[in-house]
């Protein structure tokens, strides 16, 4: 059996408001999408606001809005696609992937077998 380990080192550039457990993070354009494990308004959308100190590594994020994932029964992970301008949210209870076009309502894309995370290459 082959095993691969990837270790990422990150530096925190800000904090989010307290709330339910964060189960997914992704970016699309200048917005940060935060997926929280709750029944409604699962996706919090933050807009990046650059600081004026010419330090490109430092940004702050302000909450812009919250969106619910239609017909979602259990969020597990999320990713984004810049080509199609959409989010993909994994629902481990309904065993499907919810596709949410940015600014519109979502549709479901169902896999044929269980999944644990969502990645787009």
Domain boundaries, the chain: 22-109
CA–CA separation, 71 and 101 (whole Å): 15
- What residues does 63 pair with on adjacent strands? 46
Q: How confident is the model at residue 106 (pLDDT cuts 50, 70, 90)?
A: very low
- pLDDT tens digits, 67-80: 888 888 899 999 99
- Please state the pTM of the whole predicted model: 0.71
Q: Which residue has the tokens 């709750």?
A: 38
Are 111 and 97 contacting, i.e. CB atoms less than 8 angstroms apart? yes
> What strands lie across the sheet with 31-36, from one edge to the other?
22-28, 31-36, 43-50, 59-67
- pLDDT tens digits, 45-70: 988 765 555 555 555 678 888 988 88
Q: What is the DSSP letter of 43?
A: E
Mean pLDDT of the region 84-112: 75
Supply 82's token pair: 């810049």
pLDDT exceeds 60 at position 101: yes
The CATH class of 22-109 is mainly beta
């Amino acid at each position: 059996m082959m095993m691969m380990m990837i270790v990422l080192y990150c530096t925190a550039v800000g904090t989010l408001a307290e709330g339910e457990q964060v189960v997914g993070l992704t970016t699309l354009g200048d917005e940060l999408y935060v997926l929280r494990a709750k029944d409604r308004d699962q996706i919090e959308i933050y807009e990046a606001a650059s600081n004026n100190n010419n330090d490109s590594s430092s940004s702050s994020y302000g909450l812009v809005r919250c969106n619910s994932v239609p017909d979602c029964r259990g969020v597990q992970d999320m990713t984004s696609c810049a080509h199609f301008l959409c989010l993909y949210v994994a629902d481990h209870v309904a065993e499907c992937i919810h596709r949410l076009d940015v600014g519109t309502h979502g549709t479901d894309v169902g896999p044929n077998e269980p999944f644990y995370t969502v990645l787009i290459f």
